[in-house]
Structure 1
């Protein structure tokens, strides 16, 4: 086996696209998006008469240089002879580049799990973890999803290769009820354009003020859209408030609400909310926005936010339903809802995120995690401790600056 630079990025991207380990962070678009003065991307190919694997590696040329390969190799992990030879070549490459360490976090499923996180019969790829350890890589472990790793070890992925009726029937009753309701009140999702980024920014800023993180700039979102020009989707969910008012008014005239006083009061409150929203915003109101990437048979939900005053409308339910149908038409089979803590306990602070994503009938995915091939132990420790300190300070400052009481 030989390793060499792939000069033709169309060949590189096409290989990634067809790989079962396809991910948006592996495409050359990601390197273009992440370009920085102190970072250089390498597009490497593994050849055994023909191209059998690829790797995109970022070299960070700071005071302590290091390398990172986002989401690992595109290669046959089940063939240990191929994997071991590729790892040896990568180690030699990192040494020649005189970096302190090489980090990888392969998109290899650890074991099969049910939606509650319990191990079940099926996949077991812990032999890949052992192979990496045997080659001198340090494993961060099978820990919590939000443990400071560069890439979350857990995600929830929906198989959307189904007809619309089956897809919808697999949602929980709460999701299905919301979608039925949307038809009554005139809530729907459409494809957005670059001018609609303002809604994504507005809703993210609103969430940032609640949770204390730094919201992204217009340039940030614009850059993603431009770099993934043919592989992005911006979804905009909006409601026609006149339609909503008319729909609720008709419901209130039905026999059901004449007999059920409690239900009538709830419906009247909803009507009042609709009138208030119309008075504040006009007849047409954008209530949610989502930015997705897709490639090959996979898609990724990067950012999805909603107007908090409209939570009662459950607009993100509609956004996901529309997105799944749209992306399926683009050839997507695996709809990645992109990350959660990995814990299914109700005591977990992020349980709400898991419980919501769970309602779309996804598969519980646990990757094998993060691995470091350490070349200079002292520089490695110094860099990690420094970065850890900076992250702690940054989180604290962001909480002070952006979180509103």
Structure 2
């Protein structure tokens, strides 16, 4: 087997597009989205002229210490039960990581918690589970709903919860209109996203970030922005990513006005239809909480996505390969505190700004 660093880009892209574990977050275009704060490398394992495994590696410097963390979102892309190939990949990535002064390699692979062989292989290679995240503590969601969209539209609609079907038809009856948006529409989407963030207590990325996403992904057909309009106003929006035969619902936003006309239900339905038109077989609703207690503030999001009758999927979560135990301990203790303080401060400032 041969380990290739920053090899043929088309070969790399074709591999992850066609692989069952391929993911948009492993694409070179996603690396471009993140390049403001992360530099990237892509690696492949070749064997007898064909690729057997690949990984996108994102490197980020840690403040003040001159060290790096390496993160491979939803990587690696390979058969995680093929231990020899996985071992060859990880051992070579480990050498590369140490060469760049990394304290750790973090992965959150597209592996179901039920796949015990894959989990055991990671442990045999020295990976440790980072945390048992039930809500959204991790970088990527651990719990998602995934919908097989190979059945006909009529069959899909019939499988939805009756309340979901009712809300889709209510939006249509009330005159909600869904259209695909342009780059210029990102400004309005971001404005509504800010309203959503303040209402639900999460920090929203900058408009510049969404514009960079659009510039990197849209020309390749990997991103679509859809907007729901009512009474000539944009009242909700959604961003979906497309790659290979998969579609991911990445961001959603809704204003505080006209929520009773159920625009979010119609947006999801229209994007499911678009995904089918583009040959997708899977629609991923992305994150929900793993705490299914109705008292959980996130239960409403779970109920909304569950109504589309996708499969509730739990991934294995984050696994870390540690190269520097001391710096890793400092990182583990310091980062959550910093993120929580930053989130609280940002929300306070945005709420104050909204009142002005």
- Same fold, TM-score > 0.5, yes or no: yes
For residues 158 and 398 of structure 1, the distance between their equivalents in structure 2, rounded to whole angstroms, comes to 34
Q: Deviations over 1:221-270 (max 9, x none)?
A: 1111110022111111123x4xxxxxxxxxxxxxxxxxxxxxxxxxxxxx
> 1:400–1:333: structure 2 CA closer, same or farther, 3 Å change rule?
same
What displacement does 1:395 show? 1.8
The equivalent residue for 2:44 is: 45
For residues 61 and 343 of structure 2, the distance between their equivalents in structure 1, rounded to whole angstroms, comes to 25
The equivalent residue for 2:80 is: 77
The question of 1:344 aligning with 2:292 is answered: yes
Q: Is the contact made by 1:213 and 1:398 (CA closer than 8 Å) also made in structure 2?
A: no
Instruction: Provide the secondary structure at the position in 2 that maps to 1:337.
Output: strand
Q: Is the contact made by 1:208 and 1:403 (CA closer than 8 Å) also made in structure 2?
A: no
The equivalent residue for 1:238 is: 229
TM-score under structure 2 normalisation?
A: 0.92
For residues 355 and 212 of structure 1, the distance between their equivalents in structure 2, rounded to whole angstroms, comes to 19
The equivalent residue for 2:215 is: 226
The equivalent residue for 1:191 is: 180
Which structure would you say has the larger RCO, counting Cα contacts within 8 Å and 6 or more residues apart? 1
Q: 1:148-187, aligned counterparts within 5 Å?
A: 149-187=138-176
Instruction: Provide the secondary structure at the position in 2 that maps to 1:308.
Output: coil
Range that drifts further, 220-229 or 386-395: 386-395
For residues 44 and 25 of structure 1, the distance between their equivalents in structure 2, rounded to whole angstroms, comes to 14
Instruction: Provide the secondary structure at the position in 2 that maps to 1:309.
Output: coil
For residues 61 and 143 of structure 1, the distance between their equivalents in structure 2, rounded to whole angstroms, comes to 25
Residue 333 of structure 1, aligned match among 244, 257, 281: 281
Residue 125 of structure 2, aligned match among 114, 135, 152: 135
For residues 344 and 265 of structure 2, the distance between their equivalents in structure 1, rounded to whole angstroms, comes to 32
Q: Is the contact made by 1:212 and 1:398 (CA closer than 8 Å) also made in structure 2?
A: no
The equivalent residue for 2:335 is: 387
For residues 53 and 275 of structure 2, the distance between their equivalents in structure 1, rounded to whole angstroms, comes to 27
The equivalent residue for 1:249 is: none
What displacement does 1:9 show? 1.3
The question of 1:360 aligning with 2:351 is answered: no
Q: Is the contact made by 2:52 and 2:85 (CA closer than 8 Å) also made in structure 1?
A: no
For residues 348 and 183 of structure 1, the distance between their equivalents in structure 2, rounded to whole angstroms, comes to 31
What displacement does 1:291 show? 1.1
TM-score under structure 1 normalisation?
A: 0.81
What displacement does 1:326 show? 0.8
Q: 1:4-403, aligned counterparts within 5 Å?
A: 4-36=4-36, 39-49=38-48, 50-62=50-62, 63-111=66-114, 125-147=115-137, 149-229=138-218, 230-239=221-230, 241=231, 284-403=232-351
For residues 97 and 170 of structure 2, the distance between their equivalents in structure 1, rounded to whole angstroms, comes to 56
What displacement does 1:382 show? 1.6
Larger Rg belongs to? 1
Instruction: Provide the secondary structure at the position in 1 that maps to 2:247.
Output: strand
For residues 214 and 98 of structure 1, the distance between their equivalents in structure 2, rounded to whole angstroms, comes to 31
Q: Is the contact made by 2:53 and 2:86 (CA closer than 8 Å) also made in structure 1?
A: no
The equivalent residue for 1:252 is: none
Count residues in correspondence: 347
Instruction: Provide the secondary structure at the position in 1 that maps to 2:78.
Output: coil
List runs of 5+ in structure 1 lacking aligned partners. Answer: 112-124, 242-283
Q: Is the contact made by 1:212 and 1:401 (CA closer than 8 Å) also made in structure 2?
A: no
Q: Deviations over 1:168-199 (max 9, x none)?
A: 11111112112222343222212121222123
Range that drifts further, 183-192 or 313-322: 183-192
Q: RMSD in angstroms over aligned alpha carbons?
A: 1.8
Q: Is the contact made by 2:81 and 2:121 (CA closer than 8 Å) also made in structure 1?
A: no
Q: Is the contact made by 1:5 and 1:43 (CA closer than 8 Å) also made in structure 2?
A: yes
Range that drifts further, 170-179 or 225-234: 170-179
What displacement does 1:141 show? 4.7
List runs of 5+ in structure 2 lacking aligned partners. Answer: none
Stretches of 4+ aligned residues off by more than 6 angstroms: none
For residues 69 and 181 of structure 1, the distance between their equivalents in structure 2, rounded to whole angstroms, comes to 42
> 1:66–1:215: structure 2 CA closer, same or farther, 3 Å change rule?
closer
